[in-house]
Homo-oligomer: A and B are copies of this chain.
Amino acid sequence: MTRKICVVVTARASYSRVRSLLQAISQHHDLELQLVIAASALLDKYGSLLHCIEKDALKITAKVSNSLDAENSTAAAKTTGLGTIELASVFENIRPDLVVTIADRFETMATAVAAAFMNIPLAHIQGGEITGNIDEKVRHAVTQLADIHFAATQAAAERIVKMGQQSEKVHYTGCPSIDLVFEVLNDPQLDFDPFCIYGGVGEVFDLSKPYLMVMQHPVTTEPAYARQHIQHSLEAIKSLNIPTLWFWPNADPGTGEISGAIRSFREHHEHQPIHFFKNIEPIHFLKLLKNTACLIGNSSAGIREGSCLGTPVVNIGSRQLGRERAHNVMDAEPETESILKAIHDQLDHGPYAQNHLYGDGNSGKRIANLLATSPLTYQKRLTY
C-alpha cells in the first residue's frame, strides 16, 4: 500500500535542503508526498518559497501561517506553540503514515511534537550534529521524539546511537542538500543574472570578476549581540571594497537588529559595491557559492554545501561551533580585524578540493527508499 509521507517545511533554507528528497518521494511508486509549507517559509519578506515550489511542479497539501511578528524569543516560543496546534489539525485532516522533519530550526519542534503526540511515526533529517545556538537543544530534543533518523555524516549517526536510539533506526544517508551540489558541479557556469532575476537593492557589478558572499544570521542564544556582530562584518566588507553579494538573514530572534544595522549602514554609506538579496533559488545560490572567492558569515551552507563545492569559507562566531567540517573553513571572531584576516587568508588560498563528508549526491533517493521500506513504529525506549 502506498505510504503517505508528510514533509513539513518551515523555512526557505529547509526547502533546498530536502528538494531532492521531495522529488524522490513524489516519484517513488510506493510513496505519496504530502507537502506542508509553514512558518517563515510563507513570509514574503524572507523571500517566499511558493514560486520555487511551483517551478519544481510540487503540489502543496496545506499552508500553515504561524509566525508571530517580533523577532524575539517570546515570539519564537509562541510561533512554535501555534505551529503545534495548527499542524495537529493538518495531520488530523490528512492522516499521514509518517511525518518528516528537517534539521534544527526552532519551528521544527512544532512538527516533531505534533507528530509524536499524535502517535504518527516521525523521521528526522540531520540529527546528531553539533553546533551552537538554540538549534543544538532543538536538534537533540527532536532526535528523542523521532522514530527514524537520517544522519548526514557517519559521526552524526554514531552520536544518535550514543544518545540511546536503536542502531537499526539510525541511517547514515548523507545530506539531501548535497544532491543539489552534485547537479551544480556538473554544470557550474554562472549562466544567469541574479541582479535581473532577483532584484534586491544596491550596486550591480560584474560577476565574472572576484566577488564575495555574506550570509550571517543572528545567534538565537545571543540576540543582544546581533547588531554589534553584524556591524563588524559590515565594517570588514566595507574596508575590503570587493564586490559583495549579501543575503538577508533568517527570521530569528535578533533578525530585526541585523536588518536595522544593514539599513542604517546603507543609509550612511552610499555607493558601496554591495548588493543585498532576499531568497534566491537554491541552484542559483549554489552556483554563486561555487564561483565566489569566499563566503563570509555563520551559515551552515558554507560548512555543508561549501565542503562539497570546495568554497573558501570564513565562519564567524559561535553559531556553527562544533559542526563537523572539511578543510575549506577558517574561523573568525565576530570582530572586524579577525574577519578581515581570515578573508585575506582565504583569498590567498583560493578554492579547495571537493570533500564528500556531507554526502555523495544520492541521499534523497536513499532516504525515500528507506521511507518506503522501514517499519512504521512510534514506540521506543532508550537503549541503556
What is the interface of chain A, defined by CB distance below 8 A to chain B? Answer: 40, 42-45, 62-70, 73-78, 80-89, 91-93, 106, 109-110, 112-114, 116-119, 130-132, 134, 136-137, 140-145, 159, 162-164, 201, 220-221, 223, 251, 256, 263, 267, 270, 321-322, 378-382, 384
Contacts and interface: CB of A to CB of B under 8 A. Distances in A.
B93 A381 contact: no
A114 to B, nearest CB: 5
Name the residue in A40, A86, A88 with the highest tally of chain B Cβ atoms < 10 Å from its Cβ.
A88
Given A62-B93, A81-B83, A144-B144, A381 B116 contact: no
Name the residue in A75, A131, A321 with the highest tally of chain B Cβ atoms < 10 Å from its Cβ.
A75
A332 B238 CA distance: 46
Contact of A77 (B76, B84, B270, B384): B84
B85 A77 contact: yes
Closest 5 CB pairs of A and B: A81-B84, A81-B85, A77-B88, A140-B144, A141-B144
A116 B220 CA distance: 11
A251 B381 CA distance: 23
A81 B73 CA distance: 16
Contacts of A381: 130-132, 136, 321-322
Name the residue in A70, A223, A267 with the highest tally of chain B Cβ atoms < 10 Å from its Cβ.
A70
Nearest to A106: B117
Nearest to A382: B130
Oligomer: number of copies: 4
B81 A74 contact: no
B117 A134 contact: yes
Given A66-B68, A69-B69, A77-B87, 18 more contacts: A62-B89, A62-B93, A63-B93, A65-B68, A67-B70, A74-B118, A77-B88, A81-B82, A81-B83, A85-B85, A86-B89, A116-B137, A119-B221, A130-B382, A137-B145, A137-B380, A159-B382, A159-B384
A253 B137 CA distance: 27
A82 B82 CA distance: 7
B65 A382 contact: no
A116 B138 CA distance: 9
A130 B380 CA distance: 10
Given A114-B77, A117-B76, A70 B88 contact: no
A223 B77 CA distance: 29
A106 B113 CA distance: 9
B73 A65 contact: no
A351 B81 CA distance: 46
